[in-house]
């Protein structure tokens, strides 16, 4: 089997921010999260398969909220056994401050990941819009 014809794996392609249709081309205009003002700008279409990337103006906002809440829970999973959380002292506030800082630092990546997850939910693999003659 030719490596160029092999089907790229779903999770690595999603984490590397690749096209949901062909899983080979980058989805965002900038590969880096910097500058932050251009963080979530999508390409109009994939260079390889021609899949349209922009379907709505604000796609992925609800998924971003869910990812943020998951990150708060994951922070609780490591913070509670190490430092402990109790209602009798200020440890709950320390947990909330620590988790908020972690979520704020991870937010640029979470914003991109939420848009990618949204695209992967609504665009199937191999469903490109370009017709080859």
Average pLDDT value for residue range 61-89 = 93
> Is 129 within a domain?
no
> Is 127 within a domain?
no
Domain that residue 20 falls in: 3-122
Domain count, the chain: 1
Give pLDDT tens digits for 5-58: 577 888 999 999 999 888 899 999 998 888 988 888 889 888 988 888 876 656
> Is 91 within a domain?
yes
Residue 18 DSSP SS3: strand
> Is 20 within a domain?
yes
Alpha helices in 59-90 (DSSP H): 61-83
Q: Is the dihedral of CA 85, 90, 92, 93 positive or negative?
A: negative
For the chain, give the percent of residues with pLDDT over 90: 47
Please state the separation of Cα 60 from the chain's center in Å: 9
What pTM was computed for the model?
0.81
Provide the 8-state DSSP code for 104.
H
């Amino acid at each position: 089997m030719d490596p160029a014809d092999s089907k790229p794996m779903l999770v690595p392609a999603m984490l590397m921010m690749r096209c949901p249709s062909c899983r080979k081309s980058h989805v965002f205009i900038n590969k880096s999260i910097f500058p932050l003002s251009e963080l979530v700008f999508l390409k109009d279409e994939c260079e390889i398969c021609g899949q349209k990337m922009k379907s709505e103006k604000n796609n992925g906002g609800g998924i971003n909220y869910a990812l943020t809440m998951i990150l708060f829970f994951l922070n609780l999973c490591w913070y509670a056994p190490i430092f402990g959380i109790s209602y009798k002292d200020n440890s709950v506030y320390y947990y909330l401050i620590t988790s908020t800082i972690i979520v704020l630092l991870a937010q640029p990546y979470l914003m991109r990941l939420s848009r990618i997850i949204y695209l992967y939910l609504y665009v199937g693999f191999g469903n490109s819009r370009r017709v080859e003659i």
